Structures are given as structure tokens and as C-alpha cells.
Structure 1
Amino acid sequence: MSSSSSSSDEQPTTRRIRHLTLHLNPPPPQPPPSTINLQPCSSSSSRARKPNVNVTTLSSYLRGNNRDIQEKVFDYFNNVRPDLQTPIEILKDDYRELCMRQLMGVVNEAGVKPFQYVSDDPMKYFAIAEAVGSVDMSLGIKMGVQYSLWGGSVINLGTKKHRDKYFEGINNLEYLGCFAMTELHHGSNVQGIQTIATFDPLTDEFVITTPNDGAIKWWIGNAAVHGKFATVFAKLMLPTHDSKVVSDMGVHAFIVPIRDLKTHQTLPGVEINDCGHKVGLNGVDNGALRFRDVRIPRDNLLNRFGDVSRDGTYTSPLPTINKRFAATLGELVGGRVGLAYTSVGVLKIAATIAIRYSLIRQQFGPPKQPEISILDYQSQQHKLMPMLASTYAFHFATVNLIKKYAEMKKTHDEQLVADVHALSAGLKSYVTSYTAKSLSVCREACGGHGYAAVNRFGSLRNDHDIFQTFEGDNTVLLQQVAGDLLKQYQEKFRGGTFAVTWNYLRESMNTYLSQPNPVTSRWEGEDHLRDPKFQLDAFRYRTSRLLQSAAVRLRKHSKTLGSFGAWNRCLNHLLTLAESHIETVILENFIEAIKSCPDANSRAALKLVCDLYALNRIWNDIGTYRNVDYVAPNKAKAIHKLADYLSFQVKDIAKELVDAFDLPDHVIRAPIGRQSPGEAYAEYTQYAGF
């Protein structure tokens, strides 16, 4: 008989007296009752055994096959050129020059050539990006601008002639470039940009024009100081037989030289200004670009999806402006993939610093006994352990995203392209938002020492904050995910097939939306709560209900408000739907990663962490489950209790879990985050001058 059944026989008066007595005389912390199994995997044992985590084995599983190239980056800055490490205090202009020297050093001295991997081996490219970003986030972004954005646009939107002409110069940093999409008045709405590229058949050139101040290209990385070229996104205008009329062919990309290759002087017709000091990432030289009738050869049109012949005839393999635009943006999705993956790298650093410090910092404790570490406090566990679990969950989800992206680059499968587009939008939004919040939590968890610049939370938080905005504002990206979900929902009723990521909805729509099972809604045993099927069912059920109710609400409001008004009326609902779906995908990936792990001890540790991730998320949204009777009150209490105890269990292996990230002290670069507790305070006091 369950504990809830036996307690239900207790008289109300007796139960109230017992509860009051417990409030007045709380017992010391003890393991939960024997009805809760404490094993990382299903078992009838009532006592928890700490998983025997082999850090090397777990780390090898996490880091995969690209550890060597990351170590090459780390070794360069630690042993070859330690003088290139970023100091804590540095002026903006000095920082920009240092960041440029860092990039030149990695590429031309250390011999790490990221550009060759952008298309051919994305997993290796993103591994380099993670390592470089761990050394300095500005350096990571500057590398991304050069190779993923500027270089990626040339090889993904151009054709063989562009690759042959520009590849080597981009690869060796001779052709430093920019990615000029965002304008002063337009960011997320790329189809609304106003810069114009008009074809002149008399000279066989395009004329690039900024028609008004709102069309000035803004926040363009590499533009203020170092860039020599820019991929400029503009509306392609073709003259007609009537010389006063031009045809708008939609947004296309053009290679526009902005500085002289030899003198580095700004070229005629190009105006460049500095966007100035920013909240973070001040090693990146963001600038603003205005074009006053700048002429470029016709060959500078990146013509993979649309071309103009010598006589001004437009041709394209795609029939409409919207399809060409979608194909263009689809080829640029690598930026979002990289940001999601890099954001997890930032979260690993922050979690490592906060958890290591929480293990060595001792404060208070039982009377006349030694002080205890602050990680022994339930409140600290509540802050940090679900975050550590999320870090692992995000790692496996973003690794899977990169694998999908690499497969997409090889096959160009239409369904996979759509899948990666939606998944990258959702993961980039969800992960970067979570990391941004977690950086503040980590700072607070380290008290006053977290406020010291040398311990990095300030710079990590400031540098990472913009991840929520560039490569697509997070709120806009979540709307894309919601829109894709609704499209898939409509396809179901037309007899169509679901895209890969949405497969679970096929079953969800038929099964989960029926009345919740009154028996399973009351099951509260640990074997059930830690069963991946229960966890996935709960996540999928929530997404399915949100999707169905969103569709019904949109249909209702569309009758009176129109489609745009209905969307706006339901916007918060749609954002919640998108987040719910992404959480489901993350959990699915975590469960699959555990199954694929070859080491039994690592599997046990990962299962424990995964259970904490799942149950913590369910508890955080317990109101939703209670409102529809998916979870009965006694089961909700059991979920809460078990989630708390799983945090306690994860705490016991927290050191091993962060050590498995395999981030050396010279990469962490925070005295309170050193691996050796004895060295942490010693380095910190030395920094202060003692």
C-alpha cells in the first residue's frame, strides 16, 4: 500500500496535531521513505548509492571526436601565446586589436583553419567555435562573423566562381568580411529591408544604394575597423522596357568591397561609422554602413537562387520571391545552430565556477560542529542542480541539432531543411534565454565573490546577453516554432505526414487529448515517476493540449480580428506552446543519449541527471497538469518531493559532473572556479595583492 493510502485512514484531528508537532519540532534531514527508490535506475532498493562516476569516461562521451582540436586551441593560448589572453580591464579600441591578433594567431600560428569545416564538417567547426568562445566570447563572435556569416554567405549563397575567387582569402583572413543584413529600421523582418541593388545594363553593374537613414546597415560586425568586404542584403531591382519602372525581385545578397585591400582606406561611396561601446562583446568592431550609389560587377551577385544575365534577364530555380527568400535564409541557419551550441558552452563555464565555489565555501552549520559547504544547503541545491541537469540536457540536444544540420548540408533534403530551421530557431531561443537567466543565478549563488570581475560572471553575462537578440530575436524565433507547429497540425487533418521533429504529435493528437487516466494520474511510486515513458508522456501531453487549444483560439479570433489580430491576441499562448515543444525535444534527445552511452556508470549518472531535468520541469509547470487532472494532488506532492531529493543526489556527484566538462583552469580563468580547492582562495588573494 502506498504512503498516501495509509495516511488517508488517519483521523483529520490526529493528522493536524501531527503536522503541527512537526512544524514546532522539525526532524533532522533524512532520506525519503522506502516507497521512493533512490537508485539512478529502477530498483526496489530503499537506499541511495552514489553513482561511481569515471570523469574521464564521461568526459570522453561528452566531447566526442573533436577533443584534440579544442585542446590545440586551449594549448595555444596557455603555452604558446599566453600574452594574447584577454586582461580583465581593457579599453575598447585595445580590445578590438587584441581580438584581431587572437584570431590571426589561432588561424595562422596555431594552424586551426575553421573555414574548411563550415560546410564539410560542421561538428568540427562548432567544436572550434566553442573552444575559441571559451577563451574569449568576443573572439568567438568575431570568428563566427568571418567564417560562418561572411564566409558562409559566400559559399552557401554563391556559386563555384565565388568559392574559387574568395575561399582562400577568407580562410587565411586576407579577406576580412562583414555580414550586412540588419538595418536601423529593420532587423527580424528581413523582407522589409530597404537597401536597393539596381541593375545597370549599360555598364553591367549593380548600383548599391541606401535610400534613407532607416536603411543604414547597423550593428555590422567587423565593419567599424577590420572588414574589407561585406555581404550586403538588398532588394534586387531590374529595369523594364519603361525606363521609369523597375521590377522588385526580392531580397538578394551581394559582395560589396568596402575598403581598399592594400591601403585599407574606405572605398568611394561607402560611409562607415562606429556603433561605439556596447554592453558586452567590445572586442567585436560593430559598425554602420551607408552606400551612396556604390557600383559593383554583376558577378558580385551571390547567384545560387537567382541570377541576372548580361542583358538583364532574371532567372531562378525557384518560382516565387517567397520561395527564394526562404531558401536564402535556410542556408544561413548555421548561425543559429552555432549560437545555441556556444550558449551551452557558456553555461558549462558558469555552472562549473558556481558549483566548485559552492563546494569549497563553508558557512554556518550545526552548533559546535565544523561549518558545512554552501552546496549542502537545500536552497543552493535548488538553484544550481536543476541548472546543471539542464546544461547536460542542452548539450545533448545541441549536439543532435548539429548532426541534423550536417546531414542537411549533405543531402539538402527539403523535409530536413524545414526540420533544422524550426529546431534551430527553438533551441537557440530557449537555450540562450535560459543561459542568460542562469548567469545571474550563478553570480548570486557565489555571493560577494561572484561580483568580482576576476571571477568572470560579469563579463560572461554581458557578453552573452546579446545572444538572445542576434541571429533572430528570441520572441520572434519562438513564434516561428509555433507557426510551424500549427502548420503541422493542419497537415494532420489533411492526411499529410509530419516532419521528423514533430513525429510524436501523430500519436499525441489521438491519445493524449482524451480524458486523463484516473489511475495513472494517481501513481506516485518512484519507479513510475522516473520512467522515461511517464516523463515523455507528460511533456508531450502538455504540448498537444497547448497546440489544440491554440488552434481553436486562433480559429475563433480570426473571425473577428483577422489572422494577424488573432495571432497577436494568442501570442503568449503561442510562445508557451513553442517552449513546451522545445522542452519535449530536449528530453527526447537526453533519453536517447543515455541509451547510446556505452559505459554503465556514466549511464547511471546521466539517468539521475535526466530524471532531475524532467521532474523539475514538470513541477515548474505543475499548475497546467493539475488544471486538467493529469496529475492528482498526491502525485504532484510526490513529484515535488522526488525532484528535491534528486537535487540532493545530483549534489553528491556535482564535482564529477562539472569536471567531466573538461575545462582547464586556464580556460575557466576564475580563481573561485579552480579545480583544486586549496588553490582557489590562494589565487584570489594574490590577485588582490597579498
Structure 2
Amino acid sequence: MDSAKWEDAVVFRRIQRLASHLVASPTMPSEETLCLEACSSGNAVPVSVRIDALKEIMTGAGREDREKVFRFFEERPDLQTPVEISKDAHRELTYKQLTALVRECGIRPLQMYMKDPARYFTVMEAVGFIDISLGIKMGVHFSLWGGSVMNLGTKKHQEKYFAGIENIEYPGCFAMTELHHGSNVQGIQTTATFDKERDEFVVNTPNEGATKWWIGNAAVHGKFATVFAKLVLPSASGDTDMGVHAFVVPIRSMVDHSVLPGVEIRDCGYKVGLNGVDNGALRFHSVRIPRDNLLNRFGDLSKDGKYTSTLPTINKRFAATLGELVGGRVGLAYGSVGILKVSVTIATRYSLLRRQFGPPDQPEVSILDYQSQQQKLMPMLASAYAFNFASLDLMDRYSEMKKTHEDDIIADVHSLSAGLKAYITSYTAKAISTCRESCGGHGYAAVNKFGALRNDHDIFQTFEGDNTVLLQQVAADLLKQYKKKFEGATLAVTWNYLRDSMGTYLSQTNPVVTHRDEKMHLRDPRFQLDAFQFRTARLLHTAALRLRKHSKRLGGFGAWNRCLNHLLTLAESHIESVILAKFNEAVKRCEDPDARKLLRLLRDLYALDRIWNDIGTFRNQDYVAPNKAKAIHKQVEILCAETRQVAGQLVDAFGIPDSLLRAPIGLQSGQYTEYTHYVGF
């Protein structure tokens, strides 16, 4: 460093120290000064922990349903999934678990899904603790098959099918994905051609690529399918394609369960995970269904072949149809948080139990006392809490959407569900592997669940929308809110979030703020959220400029592809900002003072860990000076050490019973005793 730069740094440091005295005020909110201090004793707990208070905060709606499900399966060891089980046996057990949940436990998932979605998603998370295949089987039957009929159909469909779906007399499938088309639903090729003479639709699979693929419930149990197909209206002048619509198509007999004429079903076979779900492939060969089997909420057809819709274009009808199906993404986001909770619980409890090495002539220490182990696991623990609050808020927004049907809320839920599903599932997939590695060889034992968790969860990154595609939807939504139109037009700021964030950028890139590195400032939630939103604002602004520049030479599609990695980073940054904002709201709502301290600790760890992980971006934009970056890293280390002191209580607050967790090394007590039983001691 030359002398001039060194002198500048010294001056900035002095200004910063002076500013820290000037900005300190007795009126500063107490939240900014309340935090846990690292304890000198490895076993000390810095605050009293009321686990019940934390459990209540974490669960949200449906607590009674959750406990009812837990009690039922705890009393039914015959419904527990064994470690070693064949595909066919797993499928039958999962179906038995689902029917028992409804017919014996008395849970009414479809009723919950339609009237109180937050309760439904809470139950879905609870059954995921029992077996992820059960959670997905439940989602396929109730939220996909049942939800499509209830949400895309009209009163006649609801009256005809509700009871049969609710009590699982009408087990069903959701047949959207095709062999050649997954995320691009508008490109599907299955057709439903209207035959006016017989008042029927004729459903056809025109080629191999149009085969419905990965259809849950199809291979073994399903009797009906909601089939997405292009509605074709023949005429003397030629066929008219009215776009993608949904149709109820019976696929098996209600009498003897045989496959119906014209329907061809194949088994997708053994998968990487989720082998309790019977995925199959469907083809249709001139399968005739009544005209009333068109789910006609957004488009209807009269007996004389006249098509009517309140929505004027194919694109608007398609958007409305898919908009009613976002519940699947909401459920996957919340379900993925549950799997993260399980993984972190097992790894944390094992790390507290396992002792290895230590000072000479002294007892060995817990491996969670090692800084490296803390920095692997404690940010994940904080993330589990952060994601939980964000997904609970998403469930509330989804419930509000179902009640009000307001356009702004629909658009918000569509973007949030896409972004949170993509971000949370990608994070959880990586976290499971890290948790496995953190448990050494014991994490590799199948009985300790990491293998099943990793394999069963992996597909969460793909179904209900590939994560890369969903993040592009978030980026596109951000750009729409940033400008009125794109191609060649002058960009105009239209969104307060961006405008406020750019204001923050202009006010904070000064020597005083960029160099501030004291703890009070770094643990200030205003600084943390400003940093997140600043990053999003900069990425959004530069993405818009880059897209406009490249479109002149490459066109719209080429420009988008040229900027794709930038756009994905933008979407992830935005979602991280949303998650932190929801964490802040949860802290403010918390009335229990000790629980609030713990939530602040976790909030600070989540925020500063994310800033440190992307410190290059903040440094490149001169938002964080070198001394501040170093202080952030130090605070992350301190926060990890503080969280370690209460890690056991924090995972206990997830409320997962040992009898359902079942991983011997992750139990609350007697882990090694339980573990050795599996090898015959």
C-alpha cells in the first residue's frame, strides 16, 4: 500500500471511530444492543431457553393437527418405514400410511387444503418426518389431483369428486409433464379433440414425446388423472388449437382396478429416491371422455362446440390455470424446511455427543466445540429458522390469495413461491450432504437417515418447476417491476423497493459508513437489510442495462441467455432479502424476551454469514471496506460460537419426536446404546 492510501485509511478509521460516538444514542432501539455473548465455558447456556415458546413460534397454524399426527404414528409401529424395504413393499406401505392418516387418524387434507391451507401444509410437513414418500404421496393425491379438480373445475366437478378424493376412494394423478416437455408446459403435445356428434373429447398421445412421464400415483394406485392437453376444435377450415386445458380422465376401473381401454400405463421403475411413490408413464389412444370432464373454470365449451372464456387470450388462460397450481410449490418450500430441520437436528445432536481430542491430559471435547464444525452447522441452524419464518409467511399469503383472489396477491404469491421453493430446496440439498459429512462415518450408516434424506429430497429441486426455470421467473418479475417495457425503451423505476434501495446505496457508500466495523453496527438489523437490498438493487439495475445492450445485437432471447447467470444471482439475492425481512418481522412479533434474544442471535448469524459468503460483491461495489469485511468475518465466528451454546435447545424446539426422527445418533439421549442395537450388541 502506498503512503497516500495508507494515510486515507487512517483518516477513514478515525472518522469511523468518531462517528460511532456521534451516532450512539440513548433512543436507539434496544434490539440493536441485545445479543448473546460468547461463553467461556463450553457447557454454559447464556440465557434461559423456553423450548415451548420457541416451538410455538416455529409451528404456526395447525399445531393441534401436527401433534395429532405425531401421536397417531407413534402408536402405530406397523406404519413405520423400515431402513431396508423393496420398491413394491414401500409403495404399498406408503399407500397404507396415507389411507390410515385419513380413515383412522381422522385428518381431512382436502378440506384443509381448500379452507385452511396453512393447516394442510403443517400436516404435510409432519407426515414428511415419518416418511418423505408419504408427504409426496399426500401432495400428489390432495394438492395436485384434488387441488386441480377443485381449483380448475366448477361446482359440478366439486360436487362429483370432492368426497371420493377426500376419503381416497378416487385415488388420482396429475398428468402434466411429458417425456419431451417438462417446464415448458405450453409446449405439451397431448390433444383433446372435441367430437360434436357424440358430445365427447377424444384424448390422444400423438407421438412418443407426448407420453405423460413421472406421473405420481399412476404406476399402481391411481384411478383418475387430471390430464393437461391442448383443446382442439375441428372445423371445415381446419383444426383450431385453443391452448392447454385440464381434463378428468379415468385410467382404471372402479370395479376391479383394471386399466381402461385405450389407456396405456407403464412403471417408471426404481428411482434414486421416493420409492414409496409409484411414478408411471401414461399414453392415450383415442380415449373418449364426456364434455363435462373439461375442468372449465377458465374456459368452457357448449354442446354445439362454442368456446367461451372470461379471459380473452390463450396466454391469459394459461397463466390463470398455472396460477391456481402454486400450492404445490408452497408445500415443497415448507416441506424442504422440514427436511433441513431433520438433518440439522441429527448433525447437531451428534456433534454435541461426539467427543474427540482436546488439550493434553484433559478430557476430550465435543466436536461442536471446534470452530470448523460450528461454521459448518450453526449457519444451517440459523437458516432453518430463517426459512421457517419465510415459508410460514408464504403460507399466510397463499391462504389470503385463496380467500381474496386479488391480482396483486396472486402475482406476489406466484413469484414468492417460485423463488422460495427454488432457493430453499437448493440450499437444503447441499446442507444434507454437509450434515452427513459432519457426522463422519456414522453419517454414512443408512439407519442414521442422511442417505434417505438426500435421495428423497433431491428431486425437490426439479419437480413443481425446475429451480433454474423458477429463478428466471423471479428475475423476470423483478425486471417487470423495474421498467414499463424492455426492448429499446427508456428504463423507468416503478418499484419503491428498488427506489429505496438505490437511495440506501447513495447514502451509504461514504467513508464513514463503509468503514464502520463495531459490533453494534454490524448486528443492527437496519444495516443488514440495507446491505441485502443494496445488492439486489445493484444487480437489478445492471441486469436491465446489460439486457438492453445485448438485445440490440442478439435479440430478446439471445440477450436473456447471455445474462442468464447474472439473472439467477439477482433472483437469489432478492429471495435472501425477502427471507431476512421476514426474519426481522418474526423477531418483532416474539413476545417472550428470552426467545427474542435467541431469534436475534440467529437472525444476525443468518444475515452476516450471507454477507460474508458474498463479500466479493460488496467489496467490488465499495459498500464494505476491508476492515469492515474482516470485522464481519470475525462476527460470524463469534455468532457461531454463541449459537453453539444453545444449539441443543434450538434443535429441540423443532419439536420432532425421537420416535419419528428414529436416527440413533440424532436422538436426545441414549444415542450410542440405540445405535449398537442395530448391529446386534
Please tell me the residue identity of whatever aligns with 2:74: N
- Asked if residue 51 in structure 1 is aligned to residue 47 in structure 2, the reply is yes
Verify the 8 A CA contact 2:201 2:290 in the aligned structure 1: yes
Maintained 8 Å contact 1:513/1:541: no
* Structure 1 segment 159-178 matched on structure 2, within 5 A: 159-178=154-173
Letter in 2 for 1:220: I
2:160 maps to amino acid: K
Do the aligned partners of 1:513 and 1:545 also contact (CA within 8 Å) in 2?
Answer: no
Query: Would you say the 8 A contact 1:133–1:342 is kept in 2?
Result: yes
| CA–CA distance in structure 1, aligned partners of residues 84 and 366 of structure 2 | 32
Give the Cα–Cα distance (whole angstroms) in 2 for the partners of residues 460 and 494 of structure 1. 46
Match of 1:411 in 2: 404
Structure 1 567/513 Cα, relative in aligned 2: closer, same or farther at 3 Å?
Answer: farther
Q: What are the superposed Cα offsets for residues 499-556 of structure 1, whole Å, 9 maximum, x if unpaired?
A: xxxx522312344257712210000111100001100110000000000000000000
Q: CA deviation at 1:66?
A: 1.6
User: Secondary structure at 2:483's aligned position in 1?
Assistant: helix
2:16 aligns with none
Post-superposition offset of 1:42: 0.5
Share of identical aligned residues, percent? 68
TM superposition shift of 1:628: 1.3
Q: Name the structure 2 match of 1:552.
A: 545
From 336, 341, 348, give the equivalent of 2:334: 341
For 2:360, what is the secondary structure of its paired residue?
coil
CA distance in 2, matches of 1:495, 1:511: 18
1:486 is matched with which residue?
Answer: 479
Go from structure 1 to structure 2 and tell me whether the alpha carbon gap of 1:606 and 1:93 turns closer, same or farther (over 3 Å shift): same
For 1:269, the equivalent position in structure 2 comes to 262
The answer to whether the 8 Å contact 2:609/2:636 transfers is yes
- Between the aligned partners of 1:515 and 1:92, the Cα distance in structure 2 is 58
Structural mapping, 1:551-630, within 5 Å: 551-630=544-623
Q: Is the 2:508–2:514 contact (alpha carbons within 8 Å) kept by the matching residues of 1?
A: no
Q: Is the 8 A contact 2:349 2:648 kept in 1?
A: yes
1:259-408 superposed matches below 5 A: 259-408=252-401
CA distance in 1, matches of 2:315, 2:509: 42
1:239 Cα deviation after fit: 1.5
Letter in 2 for 1:397: A
Equivalent of 2:676 in 649, 668, 685: 685
Which of residues 169, 180, 184 is equivalent to 1:185?
Answer: 180
User: Which of 424, 427, 445 is the aligned partner of 2:420?
Assistant: 427
What displacement does 1:63 show?
1.4
Q: Which amino acid aligns with 1:504?
A: Y
One-letter code of the match for 2:443?
G
Pairwise CA distance, 1:575: 0.3
Contact in 2 for aligned 1:41/1:608 (Cα 8 Å): no
Contact 2:32 2:524 in 1 (8 A): no
Alpha carbons 2:540, 2:570 under 8 Å: kept = yes
2:518 is the alignment partner of 1:518: no
- 1:666-685 alignment, distance < 5 Å: 666-676=659-669, 679-685=670-676
**Residue 135 of structure 1: aligned partner:** 130
Q: In the aligned structure 1, how far is the partner of 2:69 from the partner of 2:338?
A: 15
Quote the RMSD (CA, aligned, Å). Answer: 1.9
CA distance in 2, matches of 1:144, 1:106: 13
Distance 2:313 2:148 in 1: 21
Which residue of structure 1 aligns with residue 655 of structure 2?
Answer: 662
State whether residues 228 and 247 of structure 2, in contact with CA within 8 Å, keep that contact through their aligned partners in structure 1: yes
Give, as a single letter, the amino acid of the residue that structure 2 aligns with 1:129. M
Structure 2 residue runs without a partner (length 5+): 1-5, 12-29, 40-44
The residue type paired with residue 566 of structure 2 is: H
| 1:388-408 CA distance string (max 9 Å, x none) | 000000000000000000000
2:78 aligns to what? 83
Q: 1:46 to 1:680 in 2, by over 3 A?
A: closer
Say which SS state the counterpart of residue 174 (structure 2) adopts: strand
* TM-score (normalised: structure 1): 0.92
SS in 2 for 1:512: helix
**Alignment of 1:150 onto 2:151:** no
CA deviations on 1:316-357 (whole Å, 9 max, x unpaired) are 010100000000000000000000000000000000000000
CA distance in 1, matches of 2:247, 2:568: 34
SS in 2 for 1:423: helix
Q: Tell me, yes or no, if structure 1 residue 116 matches structure 2 residue 115.
A: no
The amino acid across from 2:52 in the alignment is T
- TM superposition shift of 1:64: 2.8
2:42 maps to what in 1? none
Aligned 8 A contact 1:482 1:578 in 2: yes
Partner residue, 1:529: 522
Change (3 A) 1:332 1:423: same
CA distance in 1, matches of 2:54, 2:79: 31
Distance 1:632 1:231, change over 3 A: same
SS in 1 for 2:62: helix
- The CA distance in 1 between the partners of 2:572 and 2:677, in whole Å, is 45
SS at match of 1:485: helix
Q: Contact (CA 8 Å) 2:482, 2:494: kept in 1 or not?
A: no
Q: Distance in 1 between matches of 2:310 and 2:133?
A: 38
After TM superposition, the structure 1 stretch with the greater mean CA deviation from structure 2, 348-357 or 53-62, is 53-62
What does residue 36 of structure 1 align with?
Answer: none
Answer yes or no: is the 8 Å Cα contact 2:36–2:642 preserved in 1: no
**TM-score when scaled to structure 2?**
0.93
CA contact (8 A) 1:425 1:477 kept: yes
- Name the CA distance, whole Å, in 2 between partners of 1:571 and 1:171: 43
Distance of 2:34 and 2:502 partners within structure 1: 33
Q: Is the partner of 2:382 in helix, strand or coil?
A: helix
1:125-146 deviation per Cα after TM superposition (whole angstroms, max 9, x unaligned):
0011001111000011000000
Match of 2:27 in 1: none
How has the CA–CA distance of structure 1 residues 183 and 348 changed in structure 2, closer, same or farther, with 3 Å as cutoff? same
Cα deviation, 1:196-224, whole Å, max 9, x if unaligned, reads 00000000000000000000000000000
Secondary structure, aligned partner of 1:163: helix
SS at match of 2:270: coil
Q: Separation in 2 of the partners of 1:496 and 1:574?
A: 18
Report the secondary structure of 1:688's partner residue: coil
**1: CA distance, partners of 2:472 / 2:521:** 34
Match of 1:646 in 2: 639
Match of 2:15 in 1: none
Q: 1:615 to 1:205 in 2, by over 3 A?
A: same
CA offsets 1:426-465 (integer angstroms, 9 cap, x no match): 0000000000000000000000000000000000000000
- Give the CA deviation at 1:51: 2.5
* Letter in structure 2 aligned against 1:277: Y
Contact 2:37 2:642 in 1 (8 A): no
Q: Work out whether 1:637 is the aligned partner of 2:633.
A: no
Greater length-normalized contact order (CA 8 Å, ≥ 6 residues apart): 2
Q: Deviations over 1:219-249 (max 9, x none)?
A: 000000000000000000012243xx11100
Pick one of 66, 70, 90 that aligns with 1:70: 66
Amino acid at match of 2:474: V
1:22 is aligned to none
CA contact (8 A) 2:267 2:279 kept: yes
Could you say what secondary structure the match of 1:519 adopts?
Answer: helix
